Amino acid sequence: MVDLAVCDRCGLCLPLCPPAAIHLALSDLLVDRQTCTGCRKCVAPCPVGALAMVDA
Ligand code: SF4
Ligand code: SF4
């Protein structure tokens, strides 16, 4: 999930996602849960810690 109160929309995580499940739309960051493989490659690189894995 994305904590939108913390995410500063820097866009850093977008190219890190292998299946391109992260989208920046209308200034909100969205993760497509159907496309996300749960690889966690986006979680640690986020400079503000806005990305976290949650159980489906
Ligand atoms: S890396 Fe973090 S702060 Fe940057 S767009 Fe992604 S979730 Fe938001
Ligand atoms: S966990 Fe992996 S597949 Fe899911 S949004 Fe992050 S980088 Fe993309």
CATH number (domain holding residue 26): 3.30.70.20
Report the pLDDT averaged over residues 30-51: 96
CA 4 to centroid of ligand 1, rounded, Å? 9
For ligand 1, whether the C-beta of 13 sits within 6 Å is yes
Question: Is 3 within 8 Å of 56 (Cβ atoms)?
Answer: no
Phi, psi torsion values for 47, nearest 5 degrees: -65, -20
pTM of the model: 0.90
Domain that includes residue 3, residue range: 1-56
State the total domains in the chain.
1
What pLDDT does residue 56 have? 59
What pLDDT does residue 17 have? 97
Report the pLDDT averaged over residues 37-55: 94
Q: Which ligand is nearest to the CA of 16?
A: 2
For the stretch 7-24, pLDDT in tens is 999 999 999 999 999 999
Q: With pLDDT > 70 as the criterion, what percentage of the chain qualifies?
A: 98
